[in-house]
Structure 1
Amino acid sequence: MANKTLVPQAKAGLNKFKMEAAKEVGVNLTDGYNGDLTSRQNGSVGGQMVKKMVEEYEKNL
């Protein structure tokens, strides 16, 4: 399955969120090619994004 944004209008917001998460975990993520980053670095960005989403969800319960 391809990695698609379900709501295309949210793409810019998700990209901004990803850049903020990368900055928080100290990963130098750029717009464009990031193939020089390790799996660990990329995973830490994704993990930080999920952590923040869960925290936001729990605040709204």
Structure 2
Amino acid sequence: MPRNNNRAVYPGAQSALDRFKYEVAAEIGLGNKVQSQGWENMTTREVGSIGGFMTKKLVQLAEQQLANNNATSAQLAQSAGQEAAQGVTNESGR
């Protein structure tokens, strides 16, 4: 029997990924089959579909977070720039 050497980097991530795996299976119409037959009786294509869809959704989530962080960073930088400009004006007595 092959050993699974994949370990979650963060504690608790494995249980969250397991829940996510079942959610995705249900979303693509394989939830009942997983529950009735178990993962070991699923075809490689079915399990691959679930894994591929999980990856797609995780990439979308990461892109969304990056976009939000970039927007926040841009706002902070703009705000800091405005404050710095006001500070220079206030210090010079203008």
TM-score by length of 1: 0.79
Where does the alignment leave 5 or more consecutive residues of structure 2 unmatched?
68-94
Of 3, 28, 53, which aligns to 2:6?
3
Determine the structure 2 residue equivalent to 1:55.
Answer: 60
- State the superposition RMSD in angstroms: 1.7
**Which of 1 and 2 has greater Rg?**
2
Deviations 1:3-49 (A, max 9, x none): 2222232222111111011111111323xx42110000000000010
Secondary structure of the structure 2 residue equivalent to 1:18: helix
Where does the alignment leave 5 or more consecutive residues of structure 1 unmatched?
none
1:37 aligns with 2:38: no
Percentage identity across aligned positions?
36
Matched positions, count = 59
Distance 1:9 1:36 in 2: 26
Per chain length, whose mean CA-contact separation is higher, i.e. which structure has more relative contact order (CA < 8 Å, sep 6+)?
A: 1
Between stretches 36-45 and 7-16, larger displacement belongs to: 7-16
Runs of 4+ in structure 1 over 3 Å off: none
The answer to which structure has the higher helix fraction is 2
